[in-house]
């Protein structure tokens, strides 16, 4: 809590400038001076951890344009929600590496979309190695904030996500503690499983502004607690003995509330996501003329977040994030 400024975390690299989770996206974030980058990990058909924000990949790769994979289109229930598309668990890691990254919101970020189809989908190991190399080159410790996606869903398909993660981190040399490692998830269960395995990391529980954690829904049904209820004093009391911090939707900070103070009082760090400058992502108070993709009064919104006393911020434009939060 005594940190001079919050950790500035390159959210999926630097997706304000390059397609998310591409090598150039991470390279830009690392060059901008972020404290850490955030890869999202999902599982391939052969049990390899690959870096995608979701296991459905039609929005962020060229898979839909590949005729050889037309027959892989499927309808799948993920975290209780039926979705149609192409899913990482139906592809080997080598097949995924043959796909090319695309900008998720091309109409909003056309400059990033100009780099579509130029870079392959990465494995988690490749991102870990990129960060370690940058730490050596820049002679400073750069961390990884590893988000585990859909762990219960993959568990229902027979994969032990905690075991896959522990093995990958060990193979990559990320269990020595020489570089900062944060592991986060919207599901408590997989975090607890990694703790039992003795994986040394800072453990952060992700909290949405609405809804219920799927691991609890799968186990308890309608009795599962909501994310909002978990931020009440009793919920934070329970987290204080289990995790090192929470990471909340920024909407919960922009509204009048005491979540940061309440968490800090219990020894929990607080991260928030995601700080973006474009109008469409800003609270209405901070939007300005120019359209959805134009930059609004983002510094005013970010000042509210900074002044709330958060310990870490996820940013899509790392240069802007380092300049604002790192000052």
Local confidence band at 1 (pLDDT 50, 70, 90 cut-offs): very low
What are the b/e assignments for 162-172, b being 16+ CB within 10 Å?
bebbbebbeeb
Spatial distance between the Cα atoms of 122 and 89, rounded to a whole number of angstroms: 15
pLDDT at 106 over 50: yes
In the predicted model, what is the mean pLDDT of residues 83-112?
98
Give the strand pairing for 312-315 and 269-275. parallel
Q: What is the mean pLDDT of the chain?
A: 96
Domain made up of 7-55+122-325: CATH architecture: Alpha-Beta Barrel (3.20)
Residues forming beta bridges with residue 146, ordered by sequence position: 183
pLDDT in tens, 261-278: 999 999 999 999 999 999
**Residue 77 banded pLDDT, cuts 50, 70, 90:** very high
Which tokens hold the place of 270?
Answer: 């607080």
User: Over 60: is that where the pLDDT of 2 sits?
Assistant: no
Q: Where are the domains of the chain?
A: 7-55+122-325
pLDDT confidence bin for 123, thresholds 50/70/90:
very high
Decide: 99 and 2 in contact? Cβ < 8 Å. Answer: no
Segments in the chain forming alpha helices (H)? 23-32, 93-97, 110-113, 124-138, 151-156, 161-171, 188-196, 214-220, 227-230, 233-240, 251-254, 259-265, 298-307, 318-325
Q: Are 11 and 315 in contact (CB under 8 A)?
A: yes
pLDDT in tens, 31-76: 999 999 999 999 999 999 999 999 999 999 999 999 999 999 999 9
CB 214 within 8 A of CB 79: yes
Q: Could you give the CA distance from residue 268 to residue 263 in angstroms, rounded to a whole number?
A: 5
Distance, CA of 9 to CA of 113 (rounded, Å): 22
Of residues 147, 134, 148, the one with CA closest to residue 179: 134
Alpha-carbon distance 244 to 314, whole Å?
17
Q: Are 268 and 231 in contact (CB under 8 A)?
A: no
Q: What is the pLDDT of residues 227-265, one digit of tens each?
A: 999 999 999 999 999 999 999 999 999 986 799 999 999
Work out the pLDDT band at 201, boundaries 50, 70, 90.
Answer: very high
How do strand 143-148 and strand 36-38 relate by DSSP bridges? Answer: parallel
3 band by pLDDT with thresholds 50, 70 and 90: low
Per-residue pLDDT band for 214 (boundaries 50, 70, 90) equals very high
Give the span between the Cα atoms of 166 and 193, in whole angstroms.
10
Give pLDDT, residue 32. Answer: 98
pLDDT tier, 322 (very low <50, low <70, confident <90, very high otherwise): very high
**pLDDT at residue 97, rounded to an integer:** 98
DSSP classification of residue 312: E
């Amino acid at each position: 809590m005594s940190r001079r400024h919050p950790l500035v975390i390159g959210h999926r690299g630097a997706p304000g400038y390059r397609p998310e989770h591409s090598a150039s996206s991470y390279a830009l974030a690392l060059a901008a001076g972020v404290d850490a980058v955030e890869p999202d990990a999902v599982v391939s058909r052969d049990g390899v951890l690959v870096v995608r924000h979701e296991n459905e990949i039609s929005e962020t790769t060229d898979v839909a344009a590949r005729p050889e994979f037309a027959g892989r289109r499927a309808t799948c229930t993920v975290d209780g929600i039926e979705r149609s598309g192409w899913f990482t668990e139906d592809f080997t890691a080598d097949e995924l590496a043959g796909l090319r990254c695309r900008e998720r919101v091309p109409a909003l970020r056309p400059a990033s979309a100009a780099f579509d189809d130029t870079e392959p989908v990465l494995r988690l190991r490749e991102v870990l190695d990129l960060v370690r190399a940058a730490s050596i080159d820049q002679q400073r410790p750069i961390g990884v904030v590893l988000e585990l996606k859909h762990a219960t869903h993959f568990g229902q398909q027979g994969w032990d996500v905690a075991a896959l993660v522990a093995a990958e981190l060990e193979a990559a040399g990320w269990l020595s503690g020489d570089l900062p490692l944060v592991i986060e998830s919207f599901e408590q269960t997989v975090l607890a499983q990694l703790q039992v395995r003795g994986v040394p990391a800072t453990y952060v529980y992700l909290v949405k502004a609405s809804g219920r954690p799927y691991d609890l829904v799968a186990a308890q049904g309608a009795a599962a607690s909501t994310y909002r209820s978990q931020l009440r004093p009793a919920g934070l009391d329970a987290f204080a003995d289990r995790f090192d911090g929470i990471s909340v939707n920024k909407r919960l900070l922009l509204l009048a509330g005491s979540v940061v103070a309440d968490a800090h009082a219990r020894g929990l760090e607080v991260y928030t996501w995601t700080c973006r400058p474009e109008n469409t992502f800003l609270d209405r108070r901070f939007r300005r003329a120019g359209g959805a993709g134009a930059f609004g009064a983002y510094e005013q919104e970010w000042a509210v977040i900074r002044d709330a006393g958060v310990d870490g911020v996820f940013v899509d434009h790392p240069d802007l994030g380092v300049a604002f939060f790192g000052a």
